[in-house]
Structures are given as C-alpha cells and as structure tokens.
Amino acid sequence: ELFDLACGRGEAVLVPARLDVAALRKQARLGLLAPVLSQLVSLPAAAAVAAGGSLAQRLAAVAEAEWDSLLVAEVGGQVAAVLGHGSPEAVPAERAFNDLGLDSRGAVELRNRLAQATGLTLPATVIFDYPNLAAVAG
C-alpha cells in the first residue's frame, strides 16, 4: 500500500517512517526539535509563544534597562533552535552566524522564526546585515 502511494507522488525521495508526533511537538515547543524535522510538525501560534506571553508583552512587562538581555535571550533561543542546540547559552552572542554553521537555509529559517516571534516583517538579508546574535538583538 505504501509503495502504491509513493508511486503516485511527485517527490524525488520518500521515507516511510513511524514517528511519535506528540514527542516531536513537545520537542518543538521546547525549541529542541532538530531543524531537519521542523517541517513535520506545526504548532498553534499560541503554543509557539513562550509561556510568558508574546515578545511584545514580555518587553512591556520589564523595565527598559532589561530589554537588551530579554532580546538577546529571545534571539539566542531562536538561533539555538535553528542550529539544533539545546539552549541559548550554547550560542556566543558575538560569534558570527557563519562561524556557528548557519547556512543560507538556516538564515531563512532564523529570519522566519524571528519574524514570527516579533510580528515584524524582516528582510531576507537580516541575518547577513546583522551577522551575530548581539547585532540582531541590538
């Protein structure tokens, strides 16, 4: 049955696999899902927002002096998720994205994640215009 289904598809490569979708969603909510698997699950917008609310709500809830650290943490979390790291602390703020292994596909994914987190329309070149975590957060 799978063979017949595969023959009728236009994709170049198909992989039949039994996946624990609930576990994949949990990893995605925690930002731990490997980037290669990110297309397999989708999260409702509300679930994708951190427990503390949207980024705008979190910024509004803290003093302006704390905005930089909050933005670095948010951007660091997004970079860590794209690169497949377990935590934002694994991403040095001053290290260039290309030195961290971020390629053009990862740059697009990061731009999309940042746009979703901020609600802003970001240019495709944002990661090249601001080449490290500190520059993007600043």
Burial 34-44 (b: 16+ CB within 10 A, else e): eeeebeebeee
27-41, 55-69, 118-132: least confident range: 27-41
Quick: pLDDT tens for 35-60: 777 777 776 544 444 445 678 888 88
Global confidence as pTM: 0.61
- CATH number, span 2-137: 1.10.1200.10
- H/E stretch holding 46 reads helix 45-48
Contact partners, residue 99, CB within 8 Å, separation at least 6: none
Residue extents of the structural domains in the chain: 2-137
- Which range of 3-12, 53-62, 76-85 scores highest in mean pLDDT? It is 76-85
